[in-house]
Amino acid sequence: MAVDRDHVLRSAAALLARKSTATMDEVAKAAGISRATLHRQFSGRDALVRALESLCIAECEAALDAARLEEGSVQGALRRIVVEIEPVAGLLAFLYTESQLFEGEGQNEGWTKVDARIAALFRRGQENGELRIDLTPAWLTEALYGLVASAAWAVQEGRVAAREFPYMIVELLLGGALRREES
C-alpha cells in the first residue's frame, strides 16, 4: 500500500514546527515509517521542505479563501485570516526562518501570490479609509507574518496562552498597544 503521503507531511510539519533541525530519521519516526520509506517519498530533505512549502502555501491560499477577503470590512477579513491560519502557524514559522537561508535562490513562486493577496487586502483598507496610509502594505504583510511566527513560538514555549492566539495578533496589528478612548 502506498504510504500516506499527506500523513507523512503533516507529521513532519508538526515535528519541524517544534524542532526545526530534526533529522530525516526523526521525521521518519515521527511519521511512523522507516527512513528508507521516507526517502522513497521525498528524495532528500530539500524535497521534503519544498513539499512542506507547497502544502503550507496551499493551506494559506485555502485560509485566504475561507476568510473571504473581499467581503465586508478589511478589519473583519483580517480577523478571519488569522483565525483560519492558526492551524498552520507553526509550519509557517518554520518555513519563515527556513527561507532566510535560501540566499539567492529566490523563494517559491507560490508565496508571491499569497503575499500579493494579503498586501492587496491591506491596500484595500488604505483605499477605503479603514487603514492608515503611512505604513506600506508590504510592511504590514511582513509584520503579519512576523507576528504570527512570534505568537506561534510564544505559545509553544508557554509564554502566552494558546487560546489568545488570534486575539493577540489581530488586536496588536490593527489596534496597536496604545490605549484609546472609544472611537
Interacting residues toward DNA by CB under 7 A: 1-3, 23-25, 32-37, 39-40, 43-46
Q: Of 147, 152, 59, 57, whose CA–CA distance to 107 is shortest?
A: 57
In this structure, are residues 173 and 144 in contact, taking their beta carbons and an 8 Å threshold? yes
- In the chain, the amino acid numbered 13 is A
Nearer to DNA, 23 or 112 (CB): 23
Which of its own copies, DNA, none interacts with 25 (beta carbon under 5 to 8 A by kind)? Answer: DNA
Which of DNA, its own copies, none interacts with 40 (beta carbon under 5 to 8 A by kind)? Answer: DNA
Nearer to DNA, 44 or 175 (CB): 44
Residues 6+ away with beta carbon under 8 Å from 50? 108
Q: State the residues that interact with its own copies by CB under 8 A.
A: 18-21, 75, 97, 100-101, 103, 122, 125, 129-136, 138-140, 142-143, 145-147, 149-151, 153-154, 159-160, 164, 168, 171-181, 183
- In the chain, the amino acid numbered 78 is L
In this structure, are residues 141 and 115 in contact, taking their beta carbons and an 8 Å threshold? yes
CA distance 152 to 98: 15
Nearer to its own copies, 5 or 19 (CB): 19
Which of its own copies, DNA, none interacts with 102 (beta carbon under 5 to 8 A by kind)? Answer: none
CB of 74 to DNA, least distance (A): 41
Which of its own copies, DNA, none interacts with 109 (beta carbon under 5 to 8 A by kind)? Answer: none
Nearer to DNA, 8 or 169 (CB): 8
Report helix angle 24-31 to 5-18, nearest 10. Answer: 120
- At residue 48's C-alpha, the angle toward residues 44 and 52, to 5°, is 170
